[in-house]
Amino acid sequence: MIVNLNINNQERQVEIKPAERLIDVLRREGFFSVKEGCRKGNCGACVVLLDGSPVNSCLIFAARCEGRRIETAESLGSTENLHPLQKAFLDEGAIQCGYCTPGMLLSAKGLLNENPHPAEDDIKKALDGNLCRCTGYVKIIKAVQKAAEAIGKTR
């Protein structure tokens, strides 16, 4: 079947199988920031934003995403023009192996879309579904706080 997907603000006609997961379609379409982790929605490696809210793309059928906005980490920024979240993650050393980073970034972006001035507990709750085995979470939380401050100054 053919579906129309809006991925990173670009309309695409994509051929999918009826029960194909969003993660599989995104990776096939070249969006490799979306990682396969647990396949059960427990790790957050596959998080994307769906209409601005974080979702585990391993748990969603691609067919259910027709007409909705899908954002992957590729939409955040470029090497020359980092998104404030990307810059903060780098500045705070919140990245080690990087496997969890795209999901962390998108979960944080979803939070900041809803709450531009989150408390530490808000950040912890927003990142609750994202597992990191390398960094712990202290630097990641600091990075989200730093990005919130930077984004607040530009609004």
- Per residue in 46-103, pLDDT (tens digit) is 999 999 999 999 999 999 999 999 999 999 999 999 999 999 999 999 998 999 999 9
- CATH number of the domain located at residue range(s) 2-75 in this protein: 3.10.20.30
Band (116; pLDDT cuts 50, 70, 90): very high
* Domain range list for the chain: 2-75, 84-154
Q: Which of 33, 54, 44 is nearest to 113 (CA)?
A: 54
Q: Name the residue with tokens 């769906």.
A: 50
Q: What is the pTM of this model?
A: 0.94
Long-range pairs, 51-60, Cβ under 8 A, ≥24: 52/110, 52/113, 52/114, 53/110, 53/113, 54/106, 54/107, 54/110, 54/126, 54/129, 56/129, 57/21, 57/22, 57/23, 57/26, 58/21, 58/22, 58/23, 59/21, 60/21, 60/22
Q: Can you identify the CATH homologous superfamily of domain 84-154?
A: [2Fe-2S]-binding domain (1.10.150.120)
